[in-house]
Structure 1
Amino acid sequence: MSEVENPELYFNRELSLLEFHDRVLSQAFDESVPLLERLRFLCISSTNLDEFFEVRVGGLKERYEAGVNTAGPDGLTPHTALERIAVRAHEIVDRQYQCLNEVLLPELLERGVHIIKRGDWSKEQFAWLKEYFNSEVLPLLSPIGLDPAHPFPRILNKSLNFIVQLSGKDAFGRNSGLAIVQCPRALPDVVAIPSEISNRDGHQFVFMSSIIHQFMDELFFGMKVDSCYQFRVTRNSDLFVDEEETGDLRRAIEGELVYRQYGDEVRLELAQNCPDEMVEFLSNKFEVTEQDLYRVDGPVNLNRLTQVIDLVNDESMLYPPFSLNVPKQLKRYRNIFQAISKQDILLHHPYDSFKVVVELIRQAAKDSDVVAIKQTLYRTGPDSVIVDALVAAAKAGKEVTVVIELRARFDEEANVALAEKLQEVGIHVVYGVVGYKTHAKMLLVARREKNKLKHYVHLGTGNYHPKTAKIYTDYGLLTANRAMGEDVYRVFLQLTSLGKVSKLEALYQSPFTLHKSMMNLIDREIHNAKAGKPAFILAKMNSLYEKALVDKLYEASQAGVQIDLIVRGVCQIRPGIEGLSDNIRVRSIVGRLLEHTRAFCFGNDNSPEVICASADWMTRNMFDRVETGFPILLKKHRDRIINELRLYMADNVNAYTLNSDGTYSKVSEPDLDPICAQELLLEGNNPIVNS
């Protein structure tokens, strides 16, 4: 299909990701969302942009500076992409500060949450804050006067800093006129004003940056502080580890983590009132261009406001709590192994409790018939109950093997520490396969029953992370199916040993069979559509960015296959083009929960086939990672997933439609009853099923 080679038919990955970040920011403007949750969405949009610059912009800059001028499928070279990214990113940042200053701060003030500016402190507050500064802040600050003996310091990635203009001379007769003050990360982002000196009801806070700014002259005794401005630098944070040349991957990554704080500069954020000569001075020091410069009307790191949410913690301004479901099947049997033996159990987190997965490991640790546990860990969080259960199993004499992915971005340090902790108790720890991230979510329990080993398996679409399992949506399958158990064992064997690729009976695996299988399943729908049979594809994923799959979907659309895609973030495909993609609809759901499920449904001539996977439809997932896709064998489970995905397609509260020009439109159907898929599933009610 030659016309599919047209670059106008593919959206740029980074620009598409920016559109997702903008949708997250839109939640902060949404008056139907509780007020503190809106503030949280603003903070999330800020951290999202941080990571975007650290990784995506950092990578593009590396390519551009290396002289790479090759265009992607969208026709954009790194240089052109960076120019377009800068325009869109500046628009989003302007919206962030508009949201803070014109919307959230006034509404928070009405609800008794006041962030006090320096000029509004009462005498009592001023005195208290000065004492606080002298006792808690001043001893931690180390100002650096700029002169030949004190060159411009190395600035930590994303740290809060001040550039200070001074007049007068110090004890040695020196004054270059400038100094740098770095704010230690040990200090809180905001300080709560004690109730006895509050001048209004409710909560009153002051930014740490305001306190340091106000009392900056305490750092330069006998000199005059003429001006003081916040700034923050974002650096390229991608790690480079030559896995072919290193003999110890863990030690190599530990070494690289130090340099993440001092990578190349990719963004400079400055106080809006910073004068041009100061802006020019900092821009030259950090070697950034005008498009990398972001002047902001407020704190240079909006994520500092997260502490306000935690300190206020007012239920009336937060989402109401919800109860977690435990499948009835698990309550009918004495132990979890009997329940799984009876029938596969499908879990949809957080609607179904993640404690079920934890309980499987806990019972396996205590069960005298269990002889071995194998598990992959990509992200699991500090002090994880999963880790505690694995440690308990090892101490109970079980053979425990854990495959830890050390290169899980921004969790590398935690995973290195985790590997050391597990090895200390005798757990076999391996780091997967050189050159491929291990992203599969697998747990295997080997149990001796009637003198034979039986495998109990958990396969999932998300990480073994109990905290994120409460806010991320993910599917998980508990099964004692023989073929799946043997396949999971074979994949673990690949990861821990050496040998040729094993042929899997039930599972799909990247980088070997998953991509080809998905292409074949789409081809089957094309064949059915051309034969006049019912044909549809209903798929949900985090990201869609793999040209061969996109081209195959275009081909399916032209053949008459109805294609409904629920893609949370990056989406390469351009829907709604007459004669090419007019049978393709793309929706994005952005709401209370982070949509993280990967589920792929194919009509199969009225006998639907459903596959869940740890993988998105992205090049990296298909070819550069170890991933697993698992079929949903029970009809009732397939029906449940299809009905839940159709509910997402019917959502008219949190849904956005991807337009042919790459923009997203919020779905609005004022004449119809509101349908919020997440809220309905939290309530255990799916009208798609009940209708």
Structure 2
Amino acid sequence: MGKKNNHKEFPYLDREISWIAFNERVLGQAMMTQKPLLERLRFIAIAAKNLDEFFMVRVAGLKNQEAAGLERRHPEPVSLKSLLDQIHERASALIQNQFNVLQTLKKELESENFFLVTAEGLMKSDKVWLSTYFKEEIFPVLTPLAVDPAHPFPFVANLGMTVALEMENPEGEILKGLVPLPLKIKRFIQLPNRGSRFIALEDVISLFIPKLFPGFILRGMGCFRVVRDSEVEIHEESDDFVHYFEAALKQRERGAVILLMIQKSMPPDLRAFVEEGLDLSIGEVMEVDGMLGLSDLDQVIISKRNDLQYKPYVERFPARIREFGGSCLAAIKHKDLLVHHPYESFDVVVDFLKEAARDPNVVSIKQTLYRTSNDSPIVAALIEAAENGKSVLVIVELKARFDEKANLKWARDLERAGVLVVYGLLGLKTHAKLSLVTRREDGHLKNYAHFGTGNYHPQTARVYDDLSLFTADHKIVEDLCKIFNYVTGSASPKKLKKLAYSPLSLRSTLIEHIRGERDFAKAGKPAIIWAKMNALVDHEIIDELCLASQDGVKIHLIVRGICCLSPELPGVSENIHVKSLVGRFLEHSRIVCFGNGHDLPSEHAKVFISSADWMPRNFDWRFESLVPIENHTVKSQILDQIMMAYLKDTANSWSLGADGNYTQINPEGEGFNAHHYFMRHQSLSGGGSMTHDLHLPHLTLEEPEILP
């Protein structure tokens, strides 16, 4: 592929810069004036959290490569040094823009009697109240630190924020001091009376420095925040993997400083003191003109101000399950069911496992767990099943980044209840979302399966767009039985009838179907691909898509985040169109549709859902699933409702150009809104007998907009 194109037409965009572009789109939501004010504030916090994780993992990896004298592998389009320079420039601008957007938003919030106040904006009564609050709630947990030859510069925790001070004692000597902000207390404090008013903890501390360092005169101060390398290096050949993993997690907390963020208002000599005190051997410094740690802003989004948030949305429960007396198993036995979260309730997934746990005819449950909630009803159902004497196997993925400790806890809780817990395949991360329930019916065993594109997490299921497929299809569940045995026994199944999986067959299956569309195009038949995912990085797949484009295959991609394919390049990718959706709900489902010699949508199409994004890690280093959709109603739901609505969307969409820049299709957020469509209309497979009476809009890409 690379040999056919000159450098000008090189089809790859850089992964890291593409990720920053995604986060710029997230921050763009905070600028859309038609969105509720506190939801816009939430998007600032989300963008800030995303950037923290980007530095903790991606930039940390690049910095370590640079320190080791390594270079990027071909075919990455830029050198490592050039890339790090670009990241610094784009990330610095993004961080500053977050604060600028916040300043604008604060003025709009004030018109709604909602205030983010500073120490300078406090009234006398506020200071009186804060004096008591500081004494009772803050002072006991603060640790003021003097830094001198007897007291060296302390360790600063990852994402920890610290107030740095320059003071003078009564003898005229200059003292440097630090006040770390405790991570376990609220960053923003709500003031009493006069509407919704909040002040940051560091501003409160600044008012009471004399109580922390009695007798000293304050000469200068400022805040700084550190982001540390948080990638965990895993050696799975360890004799005791779980204990080794626990030690690795503790070591991560002391990773090297990757980014030091310092307030621009900090005096130069105090800044030099901070930089000298921290080990910045591979880290870099960013100066910020404003508040640090904007990821904490979600603390001020309170239920008392529902008037400034999205109107509550109550997800639907599939009517078809109710028609079967609330029995998930009976409804699934009748026909495949696709549940579209968050528009349809995650309770279906929970009820599926609860019913299996309590059904005396269910003999076993097998389950993968990648992420779940702190009070997980999924884990509770699995424990109940084991306590009821059923055979329960749970594959727990310990390497679910930033959820490792929670997963260790769940693994131990499950084991105490008698669940057989395993930790997946050596060298692979178990990312597939799978459940298998085996029930004795009429003297025979019958299997029921759940395949998800998202996690078994009831909280995120309220805001993540994901799909849950429930099926009792004999060939699919037979394949799933073999796949569970593969994960627990490490013996690859010789032949599967329906399912594909990573690391052995998922990429090759996709390539086979992409090439199939090329063959249709060469034969003069319709050739078209629709796909939706979170990230497109894999160069082999990108090459195949570009070759398909050159043969005349029409390709429409919906890629929420990272996209390394440069679309619409003449002679290279001109038939490939890429858009990104960013809106009220987080696009998380993975879908791929092949026309199979027909235009889309079509009953002849080949349709799949998956747990995998199109990235090397998903194809080569993770256990993932690719599931065919063959039930007529479910296939129609995905093609005619879900994919058509996303392709038609203009309210939440950004179009990717060949130069890697995104253009918002409708900056005002008007036009067809896929999220609104899904909230307002019953899904086809969940409608039960009422499906035939549903008056759903017939969506086409050509017709005028049908929804406000």
Instruction: Please say if 1:148 is aligned against 2:187.
Output: no
The secondary structure found in structure 2 opposite 1:410 is: coil
Q: Which residue of 1 aligns with 2:576?
A: 584
CA distance in 2, matches of 1:106, 1:289: 40
Instruction: Please say if 1:206 is aligned against 2:199.
Output: yes
Q: Is the 8 A contact 1:8 1:74 kept in 2?
A: no
The secondary structure found in structure 2 opposite 1:56 is: helix
Q: 1:65 aligns with which of 64, 67, 74?
A: 67
Gaps of 5+ in 2: 599-603, 683-695, 704-708
CA distance in 1, matches of 2:195, 2:132: 23
CA distance in 1, matches of 2:492, 2:556: 37
CA distance in 1, matches of 2:472, 2:317: 19
Q: Is the 8 A contact 2:645 2:677 kept in 1?
A: no
User: CA 1:127–1:59 in structure 2 vs 1: closer, same or farther (change >3 Å)?
Assistant: same
Identity of aligned residues (%): 38
CA distance in 2, matches of 1:565, 1:637: 21
1:422-450 deviation line (CA, Å, top 9, x unaligned): 11111111100111000010000010011
Deviation of 1:28 after TM superposition, in Å, equals 0.4
CA distance in 2, matches of 1:260, 1:85: 23
Instruction: Please say if 1:303 is aligned against 2:295.
Output: yes
Instruction: Please say if 1:613 is aligned against 2:610.
Output: yes
Q: Which residue of 1 aligns with 2:527?
A: 535
Deviation of 1:407 after TM superposition, in Å, equals 0.3
Deviation of 1:10 after TM superposition, in Å, equals 0.6
The secondary structure found in structure 2 opposite 1:293 is: strand
CA distance in 2, matches of 1:624, 1:432: 12
Instruction: Please say if 1:388 is aligned against 2:385.
Output: no
Deviation of 1:176 after TM superposition, in Å, equals 5.6
Q: 1:560 aligns with which of 548, 552, 555?
A: 552
Deviation of 1:291 after TM superposition, in Å, equals 8.8
The secondary structure found in structure 2 opposite 1:382 is: coil
1:622-656 deviation line (CA, Å, top 9, x unaligned): 01000011000112222221222122111111100
Q: Mapping of 1:365-384 within 5 angstroms?
A: 365-384=357-376
The secondary structure found in structure 1 opposite 2:448 is: strand
1:209-263 deviation line (CA, Å, top 9, x unaligned): 111111112111122222221110000100112112x122221121111122211
Q: Is the 8 A contact 1:86 1:291 kept in 2?
A: no
Q: Is the 8 A contact 1:71 1:77 kept in 2?
A: no
Q: Is the 8 A contact 1:651 1:675 kept in 2?
A: yes
Q: 2:482 aligns with which of 490, 500, 512?
A: 490
Q: Which residue of 1 aligns with 2:116?
A: 115
Q: Mapping of 1:344-383 within 5 angstroms?
A: 344-383=336-375
User: CA 1:209–1:689 in structure 2 vs 1: closer, same or farther (change >3 Å)?
Assistant: same
CA distance in 1, matches of 2:155, 2:286: 20
Instruction: Please say if 1:232 is aligned against 2:225.
Output: yes
CA distance in 1, matches of 2:124, 2:48: 34
Residue type of the partner of 2:46? I
1:328-349 deviation line (CA, Å, top 9, x unaligned): 3212213222211111111111
Deviation of 1:280 after TM superposition, in Å, equals 2.6
Q: Which residue of 2 aligns with 1:198?
A: none
What TM-score do you get using the length of structure 1 for normalisation? 0.95
Q: Is the 8 A contact 2:593 2:606 kept in 1?
A: yes
Q: Is the 8 A contact 1:540 1:598 kept in 2?
A: yes
The secondary structure found in structure 1 opposite 2:30 is: helix
Q: Which residue of 2 aligns with 1:321?
A: 312
Deviation of 1:498 after TM superposition, in Å, equals 3.6
Deviation of 1:281 after TM superposition, in Å, equals 2.7
1:453-478 deviation line (CA, Å, top 9, x unaligned): 11100011111111111100111110
Q: Which residue of 2 aligns with 1:250?
A: 242
Q: Is the 8 A contact 2:222 2:267 kept in 1?
A: no
Count of aligned positions: 679
Residue type of the partner of 2:150? A
Residue type of the partner of 1:192? Q
Q: Which residue of 2 aligns with 1:642?
A: 639
More displaced stretch, 248-257 vs 50-59:
248-257
Q: Which residue of 2 aligns with 1:601?
A: 593
Q: 1:39 aligns with which of 35, 41, 62?
A: 41
CA distance in 2, matches of 1:354, 1:57: 35
Q: Which residue of 2 aligns with 1:523?
A: 515
Q: Which residue of 2 aligns with 1:126?
A: 127
1:499-556 deviation line (CA, Å, top 9, x unaligned): 2444211101000000000000000000000100011000000000000100000000
Q: Which residue of 2 aligns with 1:331?
A: 322
Q: Is the 8 A contact 1:145 1:176 kept in 2?
A: no
The secondary structure found in structure 2 opposite 1:417 is: helix
User: CA 1:56–1:498 in structure 2 vs 1: closer, same or farther (change >3 Å)?
Assistant: closer
Instruction: Please say if 1:25 is aligned against 2:40.
Output: no
CA distance in 1, matches of 2:581, 2:535: 12
User: CA 1:677–1:500 in structure 2 vs 1: closer, same or farther (change >3 Å)?
Assistant: closer
Q: CA RMSD in A?
A: 1.8
Q: 1:189 aligns with which of 179, 187, 191?
A: 187
Q: Which residue of 2 aligns with 1:627?
A: 624
CA distance in 2, matches of 1:623, 1:446: 30
CA distance in 1, matches of 2:306, 2:531: 36
Q: Which residue of 1 aligns with 2:687?
A: none
Residue type of the partner of 1:70? R
The secondary structure found in structure 1 opposite 2:43 is: helix
